[in-house]
Structure 1
Amino acid sequence: MKKKLLFLLIAVLAFSAKAQTLESYLQQAEQNNPVIQAMELRYNIAEEKVNEVNTLPNTTFGAGYFVSEPETRVGAQRARFSVSQMLPWFGTITARENYAGSMADAEYTEIVIAKRKLALSLAQSYYVLYGIQAKKTVLEENIALLKTYEKLALTSVEVGKASAVDVLKLQIRQNELQQQRQILDQQYLAEQAVFNNLLNRDESIGVEVVSDMQIPSEDPILGKEGLSMNPELLKYDQLFQSVAQSELVNQKENAPSFGIGLDYIPVSERTDMMMSDNGKDILMPMVTFSIPIFNNKFKSVTKQNQLRQKEIELQKEERLNVLENTYAKAISQRNEARIAFETQSKNLEQAKDAEEILIKNYETGTINFNDVLDIQELQLKFQTNQIQSTQLYYMQSAIINYLINK
């Protein structure tokens, strides 16, 4: 299931290098994550319970000595030795094993859910890191652009076509972008710590993030019907089955149980007379039955199991509603991200056209550095919004994959 999730991510996101990196990180996270390790141990315990229930009741041994030996025709009884074994009704042990196995299956599904949630958290943290890194790159490009404008402004000041105020405004703008970049550095370190904690490794270890991501031209076709196979819903099916197995155990335990045993009584020979079977020991096989005449307990358990199954059905229905709402919201936000990205792309092209006009005006000797700052600010805004739209698109895609991937 893990590999299917990863391969689907690769196909959907269409970034082989990024997907490979995520796959490597996910494998490391699954191996090191303490929550998953603890759940795997819990699953091993549940599996071992199958062996625990495959047992019979304790064998009973008894021994007694006659202080006053009772006399029989063939001699005095000296002691009594007995052994007995109670046996459950036919099929009871198998029913217990099936119930324990169903509980183990439910524990395994919890592991599958935990791994999917870990993959989702890891992917989303990765996209946050990408967004921060991409914004830093954009800021560096804009700072370099402002330095170029600053040189133009200094040249213009020398020839009297600009004032020192224009130079100061450009420098102030550079300081603001430097401040934003430093803030992004801190945000990156914080998110890097989150990512590394998911991998259960040192927070200071660097994370490799792709330098460029693009929204694909078309969204993958992923139907909502895949929600029915989400492990969060399958878990309730398995819980329902475990209650059904529990009821089978209850019915078997409501049946009679029987036991087999053997009594051995050594007999002393009579010395006052001779007869056949003189001093012959007594060997007595026994069969016992245990019948639950007062079975209110079992009727109550049956009623509890019926109520529990209804509760599970309602819980599954409620969880399906939550997943459907999450799916609808993720689809909507992914579509919004695409719309926003396309709009920002158009705006960015127009802003670059305006920038080119300003540069041509400089060549003719007329340039307004206030316009330069305005265009630069707009470009930075559009570039930042593009990055945020890309990040949002892939974060919502990760949620969709989590919900409908089989």
Structure 2
Amino acid sequence: MRKTVIYIVFAFVAIGLKAQSLESYLQEAELNSPMIQALDLRYNIAKEKVNEVNTLPNTTFGAGYFVSEPETRTGAQRAKFSVSQMLPWFGSITTRENYASAMAETEYAEISIAKRKLVLSVAQSYYNLYGIQAKQKVLQENIALLKTYETLALTSVEVGNASAVDVLKLQIRQNELQQQKEVLEQSYMAEQAVFNNLLNRDESIAVEVVDEMDIPADDPMLNKEDLSLNPELLKYDQLYASVTQSELLNQKENAPSFGIGLDYIPVSERDDMVFSDNGKDIVMPMVTFSVPIFNNKFKSTTKQNELRQKEIELQKEERLNVLENAYANAISQRNQARIAHQTQEKNLKQAKDAEEILIKNYETGTINFNDVLDIQELQLKFQTNQIQSVQLYYLQSAIINYLINK
């Protein structure tokens, strides 16, 4: 989890941003997550089962009273007391402990997966908030720009170089941008609720998002081989190990078990005779064996374990294919985001040049406000696309981080 945070923070440091904000959000999300807390409890329960299996079968005590006392040479038997203890085959308890520990490790793998998914969700929501906020800022800048053009248009109307229609068009365009800004405000509130819910806190708490982000000059070094270390795949290794321990336990249970015990019978003295051992109590140590002669159950369990291991291997192979596809798609999408960002940067520069030409034309009294609206619309389009490219780059980087971060 810590390395995941470091990776994301590095992405921010690379572009000169204050990344402590996102790091603290990630730490808060992990601490407050009810799902992770529940999985931690489930893991603790699984670990406690190790102590549960470290036990012996119940000790058996017995007592009986002879209603009709049987006579023996040394006297009448009055009662019978017994105690016995069955014992598992050598190494059976250790094997049970190993199996319980293996099952606990599978639960721990679920915790690792949940933490990764939480980091991914928080990061993605954070980048969505940035995208919405950046678009709002751009819209506000364009509204201010249109107000400037409106002032120019009003001046041109006074000198007869523009019509009132040009002014109305500029005002209509401002209304449209204001509408988009207000719609984005609603989107921001909804995404903020999503973000706060991921942190398990009140939905209305304001979220601090960086003011500016950009695509770094170089992508972080990646190693696709690290994909094999993804907890989603390691989980299958733990499952496979648990089945192996299950089979070892099955073999131990297929072995004989034995028990030790003691019978004690008090004997009454005979009054009609005098001899040695008269009324001597009977003490009888016992040893018992339990042998699974009919062992079809254990043979079936062995077969089931073999099939289960093959199933786990195939499931892991299928999951690896899914993760590899996701990795390839994320790399492609991130590269596309970089290409789109570079293109929009060129387009935006050219749009700015066109805007300067229009402003110079205004100085000569030949400005065309239809061209002004067209250029403004193009600028807004390029700015919005550029923001979306940056957002897409980091969204895909978060996915890549989820897939291959060690």
TM-score interval, normalised by the smaller of the two chains:
over 0.9
- 2:9 — aligned with what? 10
- 2:39 — aligned with what? 39
Contact preservation (8 Å) 1:6, 1:19:
no
1:22 aligns with 2:22: yes
Q: Which amino acid aligns with 1:93?
A: I
Q: Which amino acid aligns with 2:255?
A: A
Q: Distance between the aligned counterparts of 2:263 and 2:58, measured in 1?
A: 17
Counterpart mapping for 1:357-368 below 5 A: 357-368=357-368
- 1:84 — aligned with what? 84
Contact preservation (8 Å) 2:135, 2:384:
yes
1:58 shift after superposition = 0.6
Contact preservation (8 Å) 2:133, 2:188:
yes
- Residues 212-243 of structure 1, C-alpha deviation per residue, up to 9 Å, x if partnerless? 00100011110111100000000000000000
Secondary structure at 1:57 match in 2 = coil
1:16 shift after superposition = 6.7
Counterpart mapping for 1:5-404 below 5 A: 5-13=4-12, 14=14, 17-404=17-404
Q: Distance between the aligned counterparts of 1:153 and 1:220, measured in 2?
A: 49
Q: Distance between the aligned counterparts of 2:166 and 2:342, measured in 1?
A: 33
Contact preservation (8 Å) 2:262, 2:283:
yes
1:90 shift after superposition = 0.5
- Residues 96-119 of structure 1, C-alpha deviation per residue, up to 9 Å, x if partnerless? 100000010010110010010000
1:272 shift after superposition = 1.1
Q: Which amino acid aligns with 1:119?
A: V
Q: Which amino acid aligns with 2:8?
A: L
Moved more, 255-264 or 29-38: 29-38
1:18 shift after superposition = 4.9
Q: Which amino acid aligns with 1:71?
A: E
Secondary structure at 1:292 match in 2 = coil
Q: Distance between the aligned counterparts of 1:68 and 1:376, measured in 2?
A: 113
Secondary structure at 2:352 match in 1 = helix
1:15 shift after superposition = 5.1
Alpha-carbon distance change, 15 to 267 in structure 1, aligned in 2, over 3 angstroms? farther
Q: Which amino acid aligns with 1:246?
A: S
Q: Distance between the aligned counterparts of 1:4 and 1:182, measured in 2?
A: 38
Contact preservation (8 Å) 1:69, 1:78:
yes
Contact preservation (8 Å) 1:85, 1:259:
yes
Fraction of identical pairs, as percent: 81
Superposition TM-score, scaled by structure 2 size: 0.98
Contact preservation (8 Å) 1:18, 1:209:
no
Q: Distance between the aligned counterparts of 1:315 and 1:360, measured in 2?
A: 67
1:32 shift after superposition = 1.4
Secondary structure at 1:268 match in 2 = coil
- Residues 270-320 of structure 1, C-alpha deviation per residue, up to 9 Å, x if partnerless? 111111111111111110000000000000000000000000000000000
Alpha-carbon distance change, 11 to 193 in structure 1, aligned in 2, over 3 angstroms? same
Q: Distance between the aligned counterparts of 2:321 and 2:155, measured in 1?
A: 65
Q: Distance between the aligned counterparts of 1:22 and 1:100, measured in 2?
A: 38
1:46 shift after superposition = 0.5
Secondary structure at 1:276 match in 2 = coil
Q: Distance between the aligned counterparts of 2:284 and 2:27, measured in 1?
A: 65
Moved more, 318-327 or 355-364: 355-364
1:11 shift after superposition = 2.2
Q: Distance between the aligned counterparts of 2:17 and 2:46, measured in 1?
A: 39
- Alignment size in residue pairs: 405
- Residues 225-275 of structure 1, C-alpha deviation per residue, up to 9 Å, x if partnerless? 110000000000000000000000000000000000011111111111111
Q: Distance between the aligned counterparts of 1:18 and 1:6, measured in 2?
A: 14
Q: Unpaired segments of 5 or more residues in structure 1?
A: none
Q: Distance between the aligned counterparts of 1:172 and 1:122, measured in 2?
A: 38
Q: Distance between the aligned counterparts of 1:39 and 1:348, measured in 2?
A: 49
Give the RMSD, CA atoms, in angstroms.
0.9
Q: Unpaired segments of 5 or more residues in structure 2?
A: none
Contact preservation (8 Å) 2:84, 2:260:
yes
